Amino acid sequence: MPIVAGIDCGTSFTKALLLLQEDGTPRVIGKGRTRSGVNVDDAANEALQQALTDAVVDRSQIAYVSSTGFGRYGVGFRDIQVTEITAGARGAHFLNPGTAAILDIGGQCTRAIGTTNSGKVKQFKSNDKCAAGSGMFIQRAAKYLEIPLEEVGELSLRATHPQPISSVCAVLAESEIINHVSAGVSVEDILRGIHESLADRAGALLKRVEMKNELTLIGGVAKQAGMVRAIEDRLKIRVYVPPDCDFVCALGAGLLGLKRLANQRATAEAR
């Protein structure tokens, strides 16, 4: 019964997840999450340690480590690395079998992924060139509005008259947000406007891939209820958000690690 670790080194957070394969379906036995900071390896160790504590297992029990995310090459103790596109698709299919369209909104990058019925990546488009399409936009706006990031999603959901943001640049939008505040627009309406602006950008990416009902939304930003509602409203599409939506890439990496480990062992036995 091997235990495999999937570690997703994102631009903002590093997520680690432990998978146990007994017989049949792999099972998640522990999770850990920490800020990425400057040293990828340190963050990966910290997240993994949290996951070990959560699962009450010893590090020596881990048979295989699979890393993914922007910092995947920085994890010194990895056995293999996979792209966050492949990992995201695999994780999303495990949780929502048959999903054809996946949207991953992360701290500094948004990806639209189109997959086959079996979870293989057919095509993808990502925006990592511009902060306006990523969680960074929300982070900065929340800072300006002096709202804790955890409250953004709920506040946005309560908007009555979402205030459109015309700027497509996160920096120029800041001036616009300041104008909205001084014009007396509610924080709820401003936040929803930001979510809608992100939804529109994500929609443009999805159109270039494949937009099919339903969409599986993953990544840290998917935790914000207002973001999910904005995507449903603007893109007129049903959205499925898996539980632990920010661990989907780590899960996918872990699943791919399990498969790889099984292959290795089968090859070894054949010899």
Partner 1 sequence: MRIAAGVDVGSTQTKAVILSDDDGMKILARSLVDTGANVQKAAERAFDKCCAEAGMQTADVGYIVGTGYGRYKIAFGNTQVTEISCHAKGAQFLSPAIRTVIDMGGQDSKAISVGPNGEVLDFVMNDKCAAGTGRFLANAAEVMGIGLDEIGPLSLKATRPVKIATVCTVFVESDILSYLAQGKKGEDILGGVHLAIAKRTVSLARRLNIEPEVTMTGGVARNIGMVRALEEVLGRKIEISPDAHFMGALGAALFAINKLDQSFEFGTWKGDHANRGGH
Binding site for partner 1 (CB under 8 A): 38, 108, 128-131, 136-137, 140, 167-172, 175, 182
Q: For 97-160, what is the HEC assignment?
A: CCCCEEEEECCCCEEEEEECCCCCEEEEEEECCCHHHCHHHHHHHHHHHCCCHHHHHHHHHCCC
CA triple 31-260-92, angle to 5 deg: 50
Closest approach of partner 1 to the CB of residue 82, in Å: 22
H or E segment to which residue 42 belongs: helix 40-55
Query: Does residue 218 contact residue 242 with C-beta atoms inside 8 Å?
Result: yes
Closest approach of partner 1 to the CB of residue 132, in Å: 8
Nearer to partner 1, 80 or 130 (CB): 130
Query: Does residue 188 contact residue 158 with C-beta atoms inside 8 Å?
Result: yes
Nearer to partner 1, 204 or 263 (CB): 204
CA dihedral for 180, 185, 187, 189, sign (positive or negative): negative
Say if residue 44 is exposed, middle or buried (CB neighbours under 10 Å; 0-12, 13-18, 19+).
buried
Closest approach of partner 1 to the CB of residue 120, in Å: 29
Nearer to partner 1, 140 or 234 (CB): 140
Query: Does residue 251 contact residue 4 with C-beta atoms inside 8 Å?
Result: no
User: What is the DSSP pairing of strand 27-35 with strand 13-20?
Assistant: antiparallel
For 27, other C-beta atoms within 10 Å of its C-beta total: 10
Nearer to partner 1, 121 or 130 (CB): 130
Nearer to partner 1, 202 or 256 (CB): 202
Closest approach of partner 1 to the CB of residue 253, in Å: 24
Return the residue matching tokens 């996946």: 102
Nearer to partner 1, 136 or 245 (CB): 136
Closest approach of partner 1 to the CB of residue 170, in Å: 5
Closest approach of partner 1 to the CB of residue 128, in Å: 7
